[in-house]
Amino acid sequence: MRLFVSEGAPGTLPVLAAAGRAQGRVELLISTVGPEECVVPFLTRPKVPVLQLDSGNYLFSTSAICRYFFLLSGWEQDDLTNQWLEWEATELQPALSAALYYLVVQGKKGEDVLGPVRRALTHIDHSLSRRSCPFLAGETESLADIVLWGALYPLLQDPVYLPGFDTLFIPMPTEELGALNSWFQTLSSQEPCQRAAETVLKQQGVLALRPYLQKQPQPSSFEGRAVSNEPEEEELAALSEEEIALAVAAWEKGLGSLPPLQPQQSPVLPVAGERNVLITSALPYVNNVPHLGNIIGCVLSADVFARYSRLRQWNTLYLCGTDEYGTATETKAMEEGLTPQEICDKYHAIHADIYRWFNISFDIFGRTTTPQQTKITQDIFQRLLARGFVLQDTVEQLRCERCARFLADRFVEGVCPFCGFEEARGDQCDKCGKLINATELKFREGSTPGPAIPIPAVLPWVTPSLNFPSQKPQCKICRSCPVVKSSRHLFLDLPKLEKRLEEWLEKTLPGSDWTPNARFIIRSWLRDGLKPRCITRDLKWGTPVPLEGFEDKVFYVWFDATIGYVSITANYTDQWERWWKNPDQVDLYQFMAKDNVPFHGLVFPCSVLGAEDNYTLVKNLIATEYLNYEDGKFSKSRGVGVFGDMAQDTGIPADIWRFYLLYIRPEGQDSAFSWTDMLLKNNSELLNNLGNFINRAGMFVSKFFGGFVPEMVLTSDDRRLLAHITLELQHYHQLLEKVRIRDALRSILTISRHGNQYIQVNEPWKRIKGSEADRQRAGTVTGLAVNIAALLSVMLQPYMPTVSTTIQAQLQLPPPTCSILPTNFLCILPAGHQIGTVSPLFQKLENDQIESLRQRFSGGQLEESLALKAKAGPKPAAAGTMTTAGPEQIQVLMDEVTKQGNIVRELKAQKADKNQVAAEVAKLLDLKKQLALAEGKPLETPKGKKKK
């Protein structure tokens, strides 16, 4: 029996889950085929999954294949199950196909995705609730459950589309779709379903379906449905009289109900009996300039939560710093002809300037190259050693004979043994994310020589070799082929610490706010079993190993980099142990991209659990997916994408960058920065929605009431609006307490839309010219609107701090209200309050402005930069002159020249149109020119006709 599946085909999920139940009862061979391969000879269109039976017959509908596996396991059919299967095929699948197509292929979000399936989800939820059974057909799981679960899983595994399913296999109580949530969680936690999900989605979430869905036609059932990025008019939820009464009571208390403002501490320290929040963002490598993805993945996300925590008056310490030790620093030092310390000093300042421009509110932005780092790291190591958690072993390691040194991981590049990526580093593959050992890298047949890194005189142990033949794997210093030799190293005995880690996770995860991807990654590591992990490296730039026989080694950067959080705090205050050795009173939130999860959720906890020194461990691990740039990845060497030091040169204010990055924050899946979308969000959400409302509310006070907030006489409609604003404010709090940063931003925009609709319906500009009652009504609407604007200014503070301050200055908010965000909507600008001068908050982004920026950051700035270097620098003459661009830039350009040359040859062989050939030849000549500039060579005079 043979099962044919295709990568990314949604129907594979329920089929594999059903096959898991028939395991041992049938011999099954699984074959992967392309989405366009016709497996069933008598079908006119390709179809997967397909089950070829031993008789030679085929089953090619998902439900039929699942039914077959269930029958093999002894399941008996029933009418209710058959009814559910019919409903799934006729009602659910068309709607679900449209939703997945909109989400994965068209990149739509939110209601555009949820809209087609909302009715179907409600039907399932009501059916489960009405029958009071855990499963669709009764008390036990049936075929219907597996088929519907498999159909829904790609969509509902993202908590955005199933409210309450916020954590991996840990349900959150929720009233909305509660029965569906419980049913989905129960099935998702079962072993066959877990294995099926991991096999099909491969830790990529719904994006794993993209290659398959892109080859499918747009679902016909929903082709006529208009899909728009613009928000639809909000439907106000029904309110109880009690909710309205509570909202009005809170409003009337006004400023008197605000808690007293806590004095600011310096240094910030935990206080017994109060909420103490310690926040870290992943330490950026000091050897590069952060791009927008780095900024949103770590520092900006953490900054939003830190600012929110301060608005709640929690004792909040937010720290970060540059990760300065390790191979990456040595490599960069070689490239730039500087010492490692000089590189650290240079790039630490660059990072600090970038984060300052983005208005990141660190309490301290430190470094890991400090005496405190050495002291604390060595102490933790010695405690681990004394307790038997450190092993010694001889390992096979790559050594470069030409450089006369063992090569640390990042000094080696080769072919990934797992996915075949040809530029994998010796510690981790950037494509598949797997951790690897340098000796596992494969050789690539027929690899072409690549440029060597220029070797400066400040690194005397290296013999320069600019033209040594290269293979894969390669020494990144001289591009020669390293040999395998033995080296003695120290290992952290993770298997011995595994039980402690699991006990800690069992205590920590329930009720915590670990993101689903973080839970999944740690669970995957534990499922495979932990292995001893090397914690030393043959380097000179790092924390010394305090053990006889290992004096020539340093600690592996991912053993001591996470200890950097502790040492940075120790440099901030000598009372650092009150934060880091106080697990009962401190809530530790750590922000990072998903590739850092193993080190923060596993390596560091194991290290300090083994040290047995009462260290504070992460309570809430917040990991983002990846942010891509337009249709590809950020690349400094190719000049693609916006990097932190470039954003301030675009003329777009920092708060606009903050807003858009947070709006597209990759919470449940990878997302992409888009110039077009940035223009749309700025012009629609900021200019036309938020800015328009706040400006109108303030201008009405200035124009109609002389700058003083008018008297407010609330009607029943006004009281309902108070209750709606209060509920949305409370929803904002709930989301940010769960670190749902992107969704909480939507609450701000929802409130401003409510405000715009309120003004539009009541038309105060007309009423002010009418009767006394009309003028009074205009005053009420204006007073209520300007109070909503005041509330929004505080809610905006974590997201757009400069805009927040500007609004507060325009409205002249009382000082306490700027620093405290209450849980209820209060009247903080009472009648008679005088506001300041009101002016527009946002500027429109124009198409030509954005198109210019798109071109500039699509690789154009690389050519610009190289041309400037060539113009400013001395004329290149002798061979062997130092190159004017880095080796990565040169290699990229060489690859582009080769690729473009092949295009030209193919066109000429096909005798293509001369104009088309000429255009491609022009591109080739331009690339060759860029390459010559990058290599520091004189530009050749083009051959051909001379000028007359």
Output the CA angle 338-481-897, nearest 5 degrees.
75
Q: Which of 214, 233, 257 is the last residue of a domain?
A: 214
- Band (pLDDT 50/70/90 cuts) for residue 374 is very high
Instruction: Flag whether 828 is in a domain.
Output: yes
Pairing of strands 390-400, 405-406: antiparallel
pLDDT digits (tens, 9 = 90+) for 466-487: 333 334 688 877 778 888 888 8
- Band (pLDDT 50/70/90 cuts) for residue 319 is very high
Same domain, 823 and 917: no
Instruction: Look at the block and give the residue holding tokens 């609730």.
Output: 129
Same domain, 7 and 138: yes
- Asked if residue 168 has pLDDT above 80, the reply is no
Write b or e for each residue in 609-635: b if 16 or more Cβ atoms lie within 10 A of its Cβ, otherwise e. bbbeeebbbbbbbbbbbbbbbbeebbb
Instruction: Identify the pLDDT of residue 866.
Output: 44
Task: Name, in order, each residue with C-beta under 8 angstroms of 222's C-beta and a sequence gap of 6 or more.
Answer: 94, 95, 98, 116
Mean pLDDT is highest, among 42-51, 716-725, 877-886, for: 716-725
Q: Mean pLDDT throughout 861-868?
A: 46
Q: Mean pLDDT throughout 394-405?
A: 82
Interatomic CA distance for residues 670 and 625, integer angstroms:
5
SS3 category, 807:
helix
Of the ranges 102-116, 227-241, 299-313, 757-771, which one carries the lowest mean pLDDT score?
Answer: 227-241
Pairing of strands 315-322, 276-281: parallel
Question: In the numeric block, which tokens belong to residue 392?
Answer: 């010694």
pLDDT digits (tens, 9 = 90+) for 64-114: 999 888 888 777 778 888 888 888 888 888 888 888 888 887 777 777 787
How far from the centroid of its chain's Cα atoms is residue 718's Cα? 40
- Band (pLDDT 50/70/90 cuts) for residue 638 is low
Q: Domain holding 909: CATH number?
A: 1.10.287
Instruction: Flag whether 466 is in a domain.
Output: no
SS3 category, 84:
helix
CA quadruple 602, 605, 607, 612: dihedral sign: negative
Instruction: Identify the pLDDT of residue 890.
Output: 66
Q: Looking at per-residue confidence, does 123 or 946 come out higher?
A: 123
Q: Domain holding 753: CATH number?
A: 1.10.730.10
Interatomic CA distance for residues 528 and 920, integer angstroms:
50
- Band (pLDDT 50/70/90 cuts) for residue 125 is confident
Task: Name, in order, each residue with C-beta under 8 angstroms of 905's C-beta and a sequence gap of 6 or more.
Answer: none
Instruction: Look at the block and give the residue holding tokens 């770590």.
Output: 298
Of the ranges 252-266, 436-450, 726-740, which one carries the lowest mean pLDDT score?
Answer: 436-450
Instruction: Flag whether 903 is in a domain.
Output: yes
Percent of the chain as helix, strand, coil, to the nearest 5: 50, 10, 40
Instruction: Flag whether 118 is in a domain.
Output: yes
| HSE value, Cβ hemisphere, 13 Å, CA-based, for 39 | 23
Mean pLDDT is highest, among 178-192, 242-256, 857-871, 922-936, for: 242-256
Specify burial of residue 790 (Cβ count, 10 A radius: 0-12, 13-18, 19+).
Answer: buried
Instruction: Look at the block and give the residue holding tokens 């900021």.
Output: 686
Instruction: Identify the pLDDT of residue 940.
Output: 47
pLDDT digits (tens, 9 = 90+) for 320-342: 999 999 878 887 888 888 999 99
In eight-state DSSP terms, residue 437 is -
Interatomic CA distance for residues 556 and 348, integer angstroms:
20
Task: Name, in order, each residue with C-beta under 8 angstroms of 878's C-beta and a sequence gap of 6 or more.
Answer: none
Q: Looking at per-residue confidence, does 335 or 610 come out higher?
A: 610
- Band (pLDDT 50/70/90 cuts) for residue 787 is very high
Interatomic CA distance for residues 497 and 532, integer angstroms:
10
Contact status, residue 193 vs residue 157, Cβ threshold 8 Å: no
Same domain, 798 and 929: no
Instruction: Identify the pLDDT of residue 372.
Output: 97
Read off the pTM: 0.67
SS (HEC) of 16-39: HHHHHHCECCECCEEEECCCCCCC
- Asked if residue 301 has pLDDT above 90, the reply is yes
Same domain, 931 and 815: no
Same domain, 724 and 806: yes
In eight-state DSSP terms, residue 711 is P
Interatomic CA distance for residues 889 and 864, integer angstroms:
13
Pairing of strands 412-414, 424-425: antiparallel
Total tally of structural domains belonging to the chain: 3
Interatomic CA distance for residues 650 and 861, integer angstroms:
13
Instruction: Flag whether 139 is in a domain.
Output: yes
Same domain, 820 and 915: no
Same domain, 74 and 205: yes
Mean residue pLDDT of the chain comes to 83
Instruction: Flag whether 850 is in a domain.
Output: no
Pairing of strands 364-367, 390-400: unpaired
SS (HEC) of 494-510: HHHHHHHHHHHHHHHCC
Instruction: Identify the pLDDT of residue 888.
Output: 55
Q: Per DSSP, what are the bridge partners of residue 50?
A: 4
Question: In the numeric block, which tokens belong to residue 218?
Answer: 């747009």
Q: Mean pLDDT throughout 212-234?
A: 50
Contact status, residue 231 vs residue 753, Cβ threshold 8 Å: yes
Q: Mean pLDDT throughout 943-947?
A: 40
Same domain, 812 and 901: no
- Asked if residue 462 has pLDDT above 80, the reply is no
Instruction: Identify the pLDDT of residue 448.
Output: 40
**% of the chain with per-residue pLDDT over 90:** 45
Q: Domain holding 73: CATH number?
A: 1.20.1050.10
pLDDT digits (tens, 9 = 90+) for 821-842: 999 999 999 999 999 999 999 9
CA quadruple 647, 652, 655, 657: dihedral sign: negative
Task: Name, in order, each residue with C-beta under 8 angstroms of 736's C-beta and a sequence gap of 6 or more.
Answer: 304, 305, 308, 744, 798
- Band (pLDDT 50/70/90 cuts) for residue 685 is very high
- Please state whether the peptide bond connecting residue 874 to the residue before it is cis, i.e. omega within 30 degrees of 0: no
Task: Name, in order, each residue with C-beta under 8 angstroms of 897's C-beta and a sequence gap of 6 or more.
Answer: 924, 927, 928, 931
Q: Looking at per-residue confidence, does 213 or 874 come out higher?
A: 213
Same domain, 59 and 193: yes
What backbone torsions phi and psi does residue 23 show, to the nearest 5 degrees? -60, 135
Q: Mean pLDDT throughout 234-243?
A: 70
Same domain, 40 and 110: yes
Interatomic CA distance for residues 265 and 333, integer angstroms:
39
Same domain, 767 and 915: no
- Asked if residue 233 has pLDDT above 90, the reply is no
Instruction: Identify the pLDDT of residue 775.
Output: 95
Instruction: Identify the pLDDT of residue 637.
Output: 59
Helix (H) or strand (E) holding 405: strand 405-406
- Band (pLDDT 50/70/90 cuts) for residue 867 is very low
Boundaries of domain holding 733:
688-834
How many other C-beta atoms are found inside a 10 Å radius of the C-beta of residue 582? 17
- Band (pLDDT 50/70/90 cuts) for residue 380 is very high
Interatomic CA distance for residues 490 and 553, integer angstroms:
10
Interatomic CA distance for residues 450 and 438, integer angstroms:
19
Pairing of strands 390-400, 483-492: antiparallel
- Band (pLDDT 50/70/90 cuts) for residue 165 is very low
Same domain, 45 and 112: yes
Interatomic CA distance for residues 812 and 833, integer angstroms:
9
Q: Residue type for 269, please? A: L
Instruction: Flag whether 796 is in a domain.
Output: yes
Q: Which of 169, 193, 214 is the last residue of a domain?
A: 214
Instruction: Flag whether 25 is in a domain.
Output: yes
Contact status, residue 937 vs residue 894, Cβ threshold 8 Å: no
What backbone torsions phi and psi does residue 851 show, to the nearest 5 degrees? -65, -40
Instruction: Identify the pLDDT of residue 119.
Output: 84
Instruction: Identify the pLDDT of residue 32.
Output: 80
How far from the centroid of its chain's Cα atoms is residue 303's Cα? 15
| HSE value, Cβ hemisphere, 13 Å, CA-based, for 282 | 26
Task: Name, in order, each residue with C-beta under 8 angstroms of 612's C-beta and a sequence gap of 6 or more.
Answer: 383, 387
Taking only Cα atoms into account, the Rg of the chain, rounded to an integer number of angstroms, comes to 31
Q: Residue type for 66, please? A: C
pLDDT digits (tens, 9 = 90+) for 550-597: 998 999 988 999 999 999 999 999 999 999 999 999 999 999 999 899
Q: Which of 181, 214, 247 is the last residue of a domain?
A: 214
How far from the centroid of its chain's Cα atoms is residue 88's Cα? 33
SS3 category, 58:
strand
